[in-house]
């Protein structure tokens, strides 16, 4: 009894030290471990005060915290200002905002990443599209449901046929394990696979009536879905890894249309290689092309996600721009990998047939495709004005000219901060227009790509000093004529830093409160 009282006293003391804002615990390095001990299930948001998406999430996050608190749930929501608690952010691999992690049972070593819509949001930043309001995966109900699934049993038990029918009817995708012996190796592997998969419900049954209803004659795993074949039956050795691969390959339609509603499924999944077909739905041959695309998809289930994008929709125009496409150039096929660095691929042929798409995907999976780098044509007057105009086709020759010091602004036409910088950059060009060894230049990075430089936010300013070393120096100083001049006169030392990885996710994201939808640190996300 004494030990219990001491424990309760300590728990109260711990809780007293942790401040709350709208039912959300405010965590710091000093109270983080104590919070994990006091609350067995805790969802932690690592945020930045200037982050537009963090601000958009805040009311829904607080609402979810209040909902759980009202239910007397043992699940709590917390937040960490990652710009202040940098050590904590580094410890948990925070590379973008918001990053949300779920700590279960006080385990601080292997938290579960919240699989909401964050991958989608970052991709949208990369095409410069403004995301106006909380979407799928970011509503209070979504957060609460996600947490309840992770704290309840991973696999439900079905005893009646009506239970199984309801499960299938209520979900777009559901998995049922048919096992007569719940302790068998196969059943145990199934449980482990269910624990590892977040976004679809799993159930199990040993009922003869349910076996009979769904025409199952032996132990097996069946995935039920409201599209394509309707159901898939697992065939192979029942292991956790094999079952995960089976579900991953079959849980999405062969071809999925890109919309804001489907985006979380597209970007939140494990398949990071996506082939896109840009095609207007109103096209007379739409169905024929869709049939060809779907036929090719059958051979790459679980490897490549096949996505259709309606090229007539206004909201999709920035996506076309990101791939260097215009409406009138559609239909078109492109492939992209959504790893740390996005890489695009373009087929040699414009034909949209099952055979041509299959061959293109086959070359990709075999590692035989070269990345597609966009470039505008070199303008005839590219070097006539004080600020030289670079494109993909002349960048290498100009920027890495061993006899020249080249200072380049990488910009986007829609970027508010780039527009603010433009007159200062023109003055800098004017100042050095007669220099024998210094060039001031600019490049539209929405239309031109180069292997040597990865641009993730706008404007990005980089200096390429003369010499054979192909050095690149980032400019991090004040964006003033005086600051730029000191930088150039010092050979890139004052206001410069060695070029790093340009981690876009840690740049301040666009802030919907500011005039241009830009952030307060002078960057627009790419």
In the three-class reduction of DSSP (H, G, I as helix; E, B as strand; rest coil), residue 475 is classed as strand
Active-site annotation holder among 8, 330, 361, 415: 415
Where b means 16+ CB within 10 Å and e means fewer, 77-97 reads bbbbbbbebeebbeebebebb
Active-site annotation holder among 8, 330, 361, 418: 418
CA dihedral 92, 497, 395, 125 (to 10 degrees): 30
User: Which neighbouring-strand residues pair with 387?
Assistant: 440
**For 159, which DSSP code?**
-
Active-site annotation holder among 8, 51, 330, 361: 51
User: Which neighbouring-strand residues pair with 342?
Assistant: 338
Q: What share of the chain is helix, strand, coil (3-state, %, to 5)?
A: 35, 20, 45
Is 415 noted as a catalytic residue in this protein? yes
- Give the separation between CA 393 and CA 376, rounded to whole angstroms: 7
- Give the separation between CA 76 and CA 57, rounded to whole angstroms: 16
Is 418 noted as a catalytic residue in this protein? yes
Helix boundaries (H) for 127-228? 140-151, 161-170, 185-196, 208-213
- Give the separation between CA 218 and CA 233, rounded to whole angstroms: 11
List, in order, residues 6 or more apart from 6 with CB less than 8 Å away: none
In the three-class reduction of DSSP (H, G, I as helix; E, B as strand; rest coil), residue 150 is classed as helix
Quick one: residue 517, left, alpha or beta (phi over 0 = left, psi -120 to 50 = alpha)? Answer: left
Place of tokens 């919309």: 259
Active-site annotation holder among 8, 54, 330, 361: 54
Residue 60 and residue 138 in contact, taking contact as beta carbons nearer than 8 Å = yes
Helix boundaries (H) for 312-410? 317-322, 354-365, 392-399
Distance from first CA to last CA of the chain, Å, rounded? 60
- Inter-CA distances, 198 with 142, 155, 298, Å: 12, 12, 24
- Give 279-284's long-range contacts (Cβ < 8 A, gap of 24+): 279/308, 279/309, 279/310, 279/311, 279/330, 279/331, 279/352, 280/310, 280/311, 280/312, 280/327, 280/330, 280/331, 281/310, 281/312, 282/312, 283/331
Point out the residues that are catalytic: 51, 54, 415, 418
């Amino acid at each position: 009894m004494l030990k219990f009282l001491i424990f309760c006293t300590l728990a109260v003391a711990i809780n007293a030290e942790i401040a709350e804002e709208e039912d959300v615990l405010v965590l710091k390095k000093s109270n983080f471990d104590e919070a994990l001990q006091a609350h067995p299930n805790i969802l932690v948001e690592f945020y930045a005060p200037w982050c537009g998406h963090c601000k958009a999430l805040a009311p829904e996050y607080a609402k979810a915290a209040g909902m759980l608190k009202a239910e007397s749930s043992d699940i709590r929501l917390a937040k960490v200002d990652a710009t202040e608690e940098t050590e904590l952010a580094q410890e948990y691999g925070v590379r973008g905002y918001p990053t949300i992690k779920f700590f279960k049972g006080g385990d601080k070593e292997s938290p579960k990443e919240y699989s909401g819509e964050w991958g989608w949001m970052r991709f949208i930043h990369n095409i410069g599209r403004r995301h106006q309001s909380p979407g799928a995966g970011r509503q209070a109900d979504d957060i609460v449901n996600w947490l309840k699934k992770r704290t309840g049993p991973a696999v439900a038990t079905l005893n009646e046929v009506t239970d199984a029918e309801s499960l299938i009817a209520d979900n777009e995708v559901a998995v049922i394990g048919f096992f007569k012996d719940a302790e068998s190796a196969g059943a145990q592997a199934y449980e482990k696979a269910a624990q590892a998969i977040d976004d679809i419900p799993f159930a199990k049954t040993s009922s003869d009536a349910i076996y009979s209803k769904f025409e199952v004659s032996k132990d097996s795993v069946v995935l039920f879905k409201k599209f394509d074949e309707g159901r898939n039956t697992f065939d192979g050795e029942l292991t956790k890894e094999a079952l995960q691969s089976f579900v991953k390959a079959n849980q999405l339609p062969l071809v999925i249309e890109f919309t804001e509603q489907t985006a979380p499924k597209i970007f939140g999944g494990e398949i990071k290689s996506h082939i896109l077909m840009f095609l207007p739905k109103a096209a007379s041959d739409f169905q024929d092309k869709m049939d060809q695309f779907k036929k090719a998809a059958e051979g790459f289930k679980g490897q490549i996600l096949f996505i259709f994008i309606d090229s007539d929709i206004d909201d999709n125009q920035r996506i076309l721009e990101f791939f260097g496409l215009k409406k009138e150039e559609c239909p078109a096929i492109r492939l992209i990998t959504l790893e740390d660095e996005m890489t695009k691929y373009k087929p040699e042929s414009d034909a949209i047939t099952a055979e041509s798409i299959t061959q293109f995907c086959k070359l990709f999976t075999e590692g035989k495709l070269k990345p597609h780098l966009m470039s505008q044509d070199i303008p005839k007057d590219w070097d006539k004005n004080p600020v030289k105009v670079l494109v993909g086709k002349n960048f290498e020759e100009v920027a890495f000219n061993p006899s020249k010091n080249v200072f380049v602004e990488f910009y986007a036409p829609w970027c508010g901060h780039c527009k603010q910088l433009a007159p200062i950059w023109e003055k800098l060009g004017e100042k050095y227009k007669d220099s024998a060894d210094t060039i001031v230049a600019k490049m539209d990075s929405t239309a031109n790509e180069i292997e040597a430089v990865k641009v993730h936010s706008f404007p990005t300013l980089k200096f390429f000093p003369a010499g054979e070393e192909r050095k690149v120096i980032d400019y991090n100083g004040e964006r003033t004529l005086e600051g730029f001049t000191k930088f150039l006169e010092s050979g890139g030392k004052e206001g410069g830093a060695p070029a790093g990885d340009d981690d876009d996710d840690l740049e301040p994201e666009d802030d919907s409160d500011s005039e241009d939808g830009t952030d307060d640190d002078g960057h627009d996300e790419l």
